[in-house]
């Protein structure tokens, strides 16, 4: 019962934080430096790992698909499979999981530490709302960077698939044939679908991490507990939102 109460309290706290932070959206031009710093931390520092993982995920997809398709002689559709899987599902979900692990954990650790060591209290007494200075620039930055990361993940994943499709002997699909199949069935709406998902996932990850960080109570040990909680909750929410968003987008688009 107590755990259920905590879950609802957590949801309520995150929703409140979202509205309070949104009320400071107008201050963003004044906080341009902080916004750029967060874009750098969320986008640029996550970029290399997104590239590496996307290349391998695209490659594994092509490999698995090629292995199964060789029995039916349908390897020429590998490009379609990799293209759609990356654009609609794997690209945004993988980027969100990476952002949760790399950025969400860092945000939760930083804000939890600031809360424990009374830096947040100091901000409050100085009439500087933490939602304005600590949350708003992060939410704005993730909304800008997530679609960029998702598109880059798609492109690199497609390339990884093309390399594997060409170089593995039992698949042996030429890049021209691979990309022709990819273009034929992967449309802009599929890429847009993925970008929208990435946007929602990234927003949820940052909001949850900020909320958990700012609600940390106790001693330094709680900082670690908050980081773990932020990552676990983010991962669960990514998959829950993925299911419902997929349903919604399928009916709308």
Partner 1 sequence: MPAPAKDTAPTFSSSASAVGVAVEGLCKNFGELVALKDVSLAVKPGEIFVLMGPSGSGKSVFLRHVAGLEAPTAGRVTIDGRDALDPATRKLVRMGVVFQAGALFNSLSVFDNLALYPREHRLGSEEAIREKVEHTLAILSLANTSHKFPAELSGGMKKRVSIARALVMEPQLLLYDEPTSELDPVMSATIAEIIATLKEQTRVTSIVVSHDRELALNIADRVGILMAGRLIHVGPPGPLRQPADPVISEFLYPKIDISNPRYKRAQ
Q: What are the residues binding partner 1 (CB under 8 A)? A: 110, 113-114, 117-119, 121-122, 124-128, 133
Task: State whether residue 78 is helix, strand or coil.
Answer: helix
CB of 223: closest distance to partner 1 in angstroms? 13
What's the alpha-carbon Rg for the chain, to the nearest Å? 21
CB of 118 to partner 1, least distance (A): 4
Of 28 and 152, nearer to partner 1 (C-beta) is 28
In the complex, minimum distance from the CB of residue 127 to partner 1, in angstroms, rounded to a whole number: 4
DSSP 87: I
Cβ contact 84:185 at 8 Å:
yes
Q: Are 222 and 216 in contact (CB under 8 A)?
A: yes
* Closer Cβ to partner 1, 119 or 242, answer by number: 119
Residue appearing with tokens 């902080």: 34
Residues 6+ apart with CB under 8 A from 91: 54, 150, 153, 154, 157, 194, 198
> To the nearest whole angstrom, how small is the minimum distance from the Cβ of residue 34 to partner 1?
11
- Rounded Cα distance, 224 and 232, in Å: 12
**Whose Cβ is closer to partner 1: residue 119's or residue 222's?**
119
| CA distance linking residue 234 with residue 22, whole number of Å | 20
CB of 129 to partner 1, least distance (A): 8
- Residue 25 vs 128, nearer CB to partner 1: 128
- Considering beta carbons, is residue 195 or 210 the nearer one to partner 1? 210
């Amino acid at each position: 019962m107590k755990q259920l109460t905590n879950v609802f309290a957590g949801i309520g706290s995150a929703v409140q934080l979202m509205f309070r932070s949104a009320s400071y959206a107008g201050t963003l031009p004044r906080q341009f430096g902080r916004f750029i710093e967060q874009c750098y931390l969320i986008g640029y520092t996550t970029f290399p790992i997104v590239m590496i993982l996307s290349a391998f995920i695209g490659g594994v997809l092509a490999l698995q698909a090629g292995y199964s398709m060789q029995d039916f002689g349908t390897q020429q559709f590998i490009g379609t499979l990799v293209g759609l899987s990356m654009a609609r599902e794997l690209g945004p979900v993988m980027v969100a999981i990476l952002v949760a692990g790399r950025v969400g954990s860092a945000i939760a650790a930083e804000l939890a530490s600031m809360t424990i060591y009374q830096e947040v209290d100091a901000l409050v007494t100085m009439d500087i709302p933490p939602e304005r200075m600590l949350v708003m620039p992060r939410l704005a930055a993730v909304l800008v960077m997530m679609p960029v990361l998702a598109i880059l993940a798609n492109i690199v994943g497609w390339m990884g698939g093309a390399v594997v499709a060409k170089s593995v002997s039992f698949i042996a699909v030429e890049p021209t044939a691979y990309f022709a199949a990819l273009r034929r069935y992967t449309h802009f709406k599929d890429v847009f679908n993925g970008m929208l998902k990435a946007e929602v996932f990234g927003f949820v990850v940052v909001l949850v991490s900020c909320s958990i960080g700012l609600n940390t109570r106790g001693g330094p040990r709680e900082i670690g507990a908050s980081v773990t909680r932020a990552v676990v909750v983010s991962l669960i929410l990514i998959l829950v939102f993925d299911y419902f968003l997929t349903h919604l987008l399928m009916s709308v688009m």
